[in-house]
Amino acid sequence: MATVLSVSGSPSATSRTARLLRHLDRRLTAQGHEVVPLDVRTIPAEALLGADFRHPAIVRASELFARADGVVIGTPVYKAAYSGLLKSLLDLLPQYGLVGKTVLPLATGGTTAHILAIDYALRPVLSSMGAAHIVQGWFTLDKDIEVGDDGTLTVAPGAAEALAQVVDQFSDALVSRTPLPAVAGQAA
C-alpha cells in the first residue's frame, strides 16, 4: 500500500485538529497504509522561526515528506487562513516538496464563514509545491469534535460520515496513483 505522512499544523497542546488526524490515521492504517504522524508543534521553535534548514528536526521533517506517497495536511483555521505554524514548516521544505504526492487537506474552525479556507488559502500553497493530486478536503467545525475526559474523541455524525468519505477517496487515490517515471540511470 502507501506511506502516508499525517501532519497537524496546530500549535495547541490540546489540539482538536491533531486528535482528529490521529483518529483518521487509524482508518488509513486499517486500509493497509503505513501512517507516520507529525505534529509540527513538536519541532523546536528556533528551527522553524529561524529558518534553520539544517536543524535535525527540519531535516527529519523534510525526509518524512520526501518518503511519503501521500500527505494529510490538517490545520486549524486562524484569521481566515491556515495556521502560521504550518506555514513556517512548509516554507522550509523544498519548493517542489510535494511533487508526485497525493494530498488530503483538512481544516477545523470555529465558524462556517471560513469553510472555504482550504480552497482559497491552503490549496494554492499545496499546488505551488507540486502536489500531484489534491483530493477533496474537508472543513470540520470545532464544536463537532468532542474530546472526553478520558481523551476519547467523538465526531458529530454528519461530520464523521463526510470525513470517512474524504479519507476513503484519499485512500483510493493513493492505491490508484501512477508512480513517477524513473530518472535515467536510477532504479525505479
Ligand X SMILES: Cc1cc2nc3c(=O)[nH]c(=O)nc-3n(C[C@H](O)[C@H](O)[C@H](O)COP(=O)(O)O)c2cc1C
Question: Which residues, in sequence order, are bridge partners of residue 5?
Answer: 36, 71
Instruction: Candidates 56, 79, 120, 158: give the one binding ligand X (CB under 6 A).
Output: 79
The smaller minimum CB distance to ligand X, of residues 110 and 158, is found at 110
Residue 80: CB minimum distance to ligand X, A? 4
Judging by DSSP bridges, how do beta strands 153-155 and 145-147 pair with one another?
antiparallel
97 binds ligand X (CB under 6 A): no
Closest by CA position to 11, among listed 74, 94, 97: 74
- The dihedrals phi and psi of 68, each to the nearest 5 degrees, come to -80, 145
Instruction: Candidates 34, 52, 119, 142: give the one binding ligand X (CB under 6 A).
Output: 142
Taking CB under 6 A as the binding criterion, the range among 45-53, 56-64, 65-73, 78-86 that sits at the site for ligand X is 78-86
CB 157 within 8 A of CB 17: no
Closest by CA position to 119, among listed 102, 132, 107: 107
80 binds ligand X (CB under 6 A): yes
Between CA 149 and CA 186 the distance in angstroms is: 52
The smaller minimum CB distance to ligand X, of residues 154 and 180, is found at 154
The smaller minimum CB distance to ligand X, of residues 38 and 77, is found at 77
Judging by DSSP bridges, how do beta strands 138-141 and 102-109 pair with one another?
parallel
102 binds ligand X (CB under 6 A): no
Site track for ligand X across 153-182, x = CB under 6 A: ------------------------------
